[in-house]
Chains A and B, each alone.
Chain A
Amino acid sequence: MYWNKEYECMSEEKLRELQLQRLQTTVKRAYEKIPYYRNKFNEAGITPEDIKNLEDLKKIPYTSKADLREVYPFGMFASPIEDIVEIHMSSGTTGKPVVAGYTLNDIEVWAEVMARCLTMAGATKKDIVQVAYGYGLFTGGFGVHYGARKIGCMIVPASAGNTRRQIEIMRDFGTTILTCTPSYALYMAEVAQEMGIEPSNLKLKSGCFGAEMWTEAMRVEIEKRFGLNAYNIYGLTEIIGPGVAHECHEKKGLHVFEDHFIAEIIDPETGDSLPDGKRGELVLTTLTREGMPMLRFRTRDITSIIKEKCLCGRTFSRIERIRGRTDDMIKVRGVMLFPYQIEKAILEVQGVEPHYQIVITRPQYLDEIEVMVEMSKETFSDEIKHIENLKKKLERRIEEIVGIRVKVSLVEPKSLPRSEGKAKRIIDKRSLKE
C-alpha cells in the first residue's frame, strides 16, 4: 500500500533529476537568505553555481548541531518571521536548544511524508491512531498528527504520559495504530497487565515506534506483547521531525523519502564519505524545506545505506535501523560500545525483554562498566548457584559481543527507573573524577 505511488515508486533516473533540481533550488535559497551558509560557502570558496550534479553536494561543508546552537534562535531561518507558522525545538540537555521553523508549505511536506509513513504501517482513513508521542515543542506528537489527519484517520491526541488513561482509551476506543517511543510501548504493556488488561486483546494492528534507539529484540517483544506489527520510524527536529524515513512491511530497513531528503554516510572521525553498505554517521540534506533548509546536517546517528531494490516496490533507498549515536558511542578503555549491544546480549541469555542500566566509572585509572540487570520472574531460581551462573553467563556474553569485561549486577525487578520518553540507559560517572 502506497500513499503517493508516483513519487514513492519513481524511476531512479527521474528521482535523481528531481533531486538535483530541488537541491539547486535549496542551495540557492540557503546561500541567499541565510548569512551563516553564505559565510560557509565563501570560506569554502564555492557558490551555488558550483552544484552542477548530485556528486557536487560533497563540496558543501557540513552543518553541525553546534552550528545551529550558535545561531539560536532564528539564525537558520530562510523565511521572514511572518511566513513561519510553527516552531519546534529539540531538547537542550547538552547546551542551547535547536529551534526549527516551518512555513505553511513545510507543514504540508511534513504531513505528506508522515502520511506515507503511516500508510506503510497500514493506516487508512478507517483507522484510529493514538498519538502517544509528546505534543508540544517536541516534534513527535504534531508530526504524526499532521500525517494522520492528511490520511483522514481518527486521531486520539493522547500525548505522552498518563499511562493508565492511555490504556483505557486504547481499550474503550478500539485504537488500531499506536505511535510512541518503543520503551514507552513496553512500559504500557507492563502497566496494562497490572491493570488486568491483556495487551494482546487490544485492537492494535500496528505501531510506528521511534524517537529513540531500539533493537530487533525490542521489536519482537513489542509485537508479542501487543499482537501488532511494529514499524521503525526515523526523523529529527533539525530536518523536519518524524517522517524522514520509515519501514515498509518488509521491515528490512527504513525507506528515506528521497524526493525530500538526501542521505549520505560519512566516517564520524575523519568526515570522509563512505560507500553504500558501510556503517557510519548519517548526514542529511533537505530538498524542499523553505523555513529552514538544512545542508549536509550531521545527525550523529550511526547507520548505513541500503541501495538494493526493496520487494515492496518503492525505489527510495533505505537506511538500516539506527545502530547508535556518535555521542552515545561510549569509549571505554578505548573500545567503542553501544547500549544496543548490551541489550542484545541480555536478551539472548535471559530470553525476556531486559530492563538494564549501564554505569561507567573510573575508580583508579581504568574504566569499569557495571551493567545492572533486573531479575525477571522467569529467570529467578531458588538456588544461589543458578543465579551466579546467570550472572556469569551475562558477563561472558556481553564480553563476547562488546569485547570488554563488564561486571553484571542483578537487581530487583522494577528497581531501575522507567521512562515515559527516552530511556536513560547509560550513566557515565567518569567525568566527575579527574
Chain B
Amino acid sequence: MKIKQLSIFLENKRGRLYEALSALAKEGINIRALSIADTSEFGILRLIVTDPEKAKEILENNEFTVKLTNVIAIAVADKPGGLAEALKYLYDANINIEYIYAFVEKSGEKAVVVLRTENLDKTISLLQQKDINLLSWNDVLAL
C-alpha cells in the first residue's frame, strides 16, 4: 500500500524547479501529484510520477539530489469534512503527520491525498481497519 514518492533538494535559485521538471518532461515522465515545501533558502520538491525509478535516474544525471520516499495515498469523499474524518483516526491514535498534499485527479468521485506520517505501517493498518480507501500503485497509475 506504500507509494513511491520522489523528493528533490532545490536551492532557492532561479530556474531550478523549471530545470528539474523539464528534465523529466524530455524523457516523457508524467507528474501525477506535486508539492513544494520551502524555507527561505531551499526547498524540497515532492513528486508522484509514472516511473519513479527512471525519474530518479534522470534527475541524478542532471546533478540533482534525489531520494525515493514511501508515502501513502488515500481516497476520501470530496465533500466538507471528508479528509478531516480520516485524519481524526490518526489524531486519536497519536500518529503525527509529517506532510500532506493532494492529487489533481480524482479517483471516481473521491479526492486523493498523499500522506506521510512518522509511522507508515501503523498508519496503513489503522486506516485499513477504519475502512479508509488506500490506493495501491496500480490505482495511482490508473488515475
CB distance from A359 to the nearest CB of B (A): 14
* Binary A-proximity of B96-114 (CB < 8 A = 1, otherwise 0): 0011000000000000000
Q: A382 and B41 in contact (CB under 8 A), knowing A375-B9, A412-B11, A415-B11?
A: no
Indicate whether A387 reaches chain B with its CB closer than 8 angstroms: yes
Give B43's nearest chain A residue, CB to CB.
A384
Docked complex: A327-384 residues within 8 A CB-CB of B: 375-377, 380-384
Q: A411 and B67 in contact (CB under 8 A), knowing A382-B44, A382-B46, A384-B44?
A: no
Indicate whether A50 reaches chain B with its CB closer than 8 angstroms: no
Indicate whether B64 reaches chain A with its CB closer than 8 angstroms: yes
A-B contact pairs, 21 of them (CB 8 A): A375-B9, A377-B65, A380-B7, A380-B66, A382-B7, A382-B46, A382-B69, A383-B98, A383-B99, A384-B39, A384-B44, A387-B42, A387-B44, A409-B41, A410-B9, A410-B42, A411-B11, A412-B9, A413-B64, A415-B11, A415-B63
Kindly list chain B residues whose C-beta atoms are within 8 Å of the C-beta of A415: 11, 63
Indicate whether B10 reaches chain A with its CB closer than 8 angstroms: yes
Indicate whether B37 reaches chain A with its CB closer than 8 angstroms: yes
Kindly list chain A residues whose C-beta atoms are within 8 Å of the C-beta of B11: 410-412, 415
Main secondary structure of the interface of A (DSSP, over half): loop
Docked complex: A3-43 residues within 8 A CB-CB of B: none
In the complex the two chains form, is B39's CB within 8 Å of A388's CB? Answer: yes
Kindly list chain A residues whose C-beta atoms are within 8 Å of the C-beta of B99: 383
In the complex the two chains form, is A414's CB within 8 Å of B67's CB? Answer: no
CB distance from B138 to the nearest CB of A (A): 24
Give A378's nearest chain B residue, CB to CB.
B65
Give A415's nearest chain B residue, CB to CB.
B11
Find A414's partner among B5, B63, B69, B116 (CB 8 Å cutoff): B63
CB distance from A350 to the nearest CB of B (A): 13
Size of interface on B: residues with Cβ below 8 Å to A: 22
Find A412's partner among B7, B46, B64 (CB 8 Å cutoff): B64
In the complex the two chains form, is B63's CB within 8 Å of A412's CB? Answer: yes
Size of interface on A: residues with Cβ below 8 Å to B: 17
Q: A413 and B63 in contact (CB under 8 A), knowing A382-B7, A382-B69?
A: yes
CB distance from A389 to the nearest CB of B (A): 12
Kindly list chain A residues whose C-beta atoms are within 8 Å of the C-beta of B98: 383
CB distance from A306 to the nearest CB of B (A): 42
In the complex the two chains form, is B39's CB within 8 Å of A412's CB? Answer: no
Instruction: Give Cα A413 to B9, complex, Å.
Output: 9
Kindly list chain A residues whose C-beta atoms are within 8 Å of the C-beta of B67: 380-382
Instruction: Give Cα A415 to B10, complex, Å.
Output: 12
Docked complex: B63-118 residues within 8 A CB-CB of A: 63-67, 69, 98-99, 116
Instruction: Give Cα A409 to B9, complex, Å.
Output: 13
Kindly list chain B residues whose C-beta atoms are within 8 Å of the C-beta of A414: 63
Kindly list chain A residues whose C-beta atoms are within 8 Å of the C-beta of B64: 412-413
Kindly list chain B residues whose C-beta atoms are within 8 Å of the C-beta of A380: 7, 9, 65-67
Kindly list chain A residues whose C-beta atoms are within 8 Å of the C-beta of B7: 380, 382
Q: A413 and B44 in contact (CB under 8 A), knowing A375-B9, A380-B9?
A: no
* Binary A-proximity of B35-73 (CB < 8 A = 1, otherwise 0): 001010110101000000000000000011111010000
Kindly list chain A residues whose C-beta atoms are within 8 Å of the C-beta of B10: 412
Instruction: Give Cα A167 to B95, complex, Å.
Output: 51
Extra contacts besides A377-B65, A383-B44, A412-B16 (4): CB < 8 Å = A375-B65, A380-B7, A380-B66, A382-B69
CB distance from B64 to the nearest CB of A (A): 7
CB distance from B66 to the nearest CB of A (A): 8
Kindly list chain A residues whose C-beta atoms are within 8 Å of the C-beta of B66: 380
Give A408's nearest chain B residue, CB to CB.
B41
Kindly list chain A residues whose C-beta atoms are within 8 Å of the C-beta of B44: 382-384, 387
CB distance from B101 to the nearest CB of A (A): 13
Which of B37, B39, B65, B67 is the most central at the interface, judged by chain A CB atoms within 10 Å of its CB? B65
In the complex the two chains form, is B63's CB within 8 Å of A410's CB? Answer: no
Instruction: Give Cα A411 to B7, complex, Å.
Output: 16
Kindly list chain B residues whose C-beta atoms are within 8 Å of the C-beta of A382: 5, 7, 44, 46, 67, 69, 116
Instruction: Give Cα A388 to B41, complex, Å.
Output: 10
Instruction: Give Cα A272 to B99, complex, Å.
Output: 62
Instruction: Give Cα A382 to B69, complex, Å.
Output: 7
User: Which 4 residue pairs are nearest across A and B when measured between Cβ atoms?
Assistant: A382-B7, A382-B69, A380-B65, A412-B11
Give B65's nearest chain A residue, CB to CB.
A380
Instruction: Give Cα A136 to B37, complex, Å.
Output: 51
CB distance from B125 to the nearest CB of A (A): 22
Kindly list chain A residues whose C-beta atoms are within 8 Å of the C-beta of B116: 382
Instruction: Give Cα A412 to B14, complex, Å.
Output: 13
Give B41's nearest chain A residue, CB to CB.
A409
CB distance from B74 to the nearest CB of A (A): 19
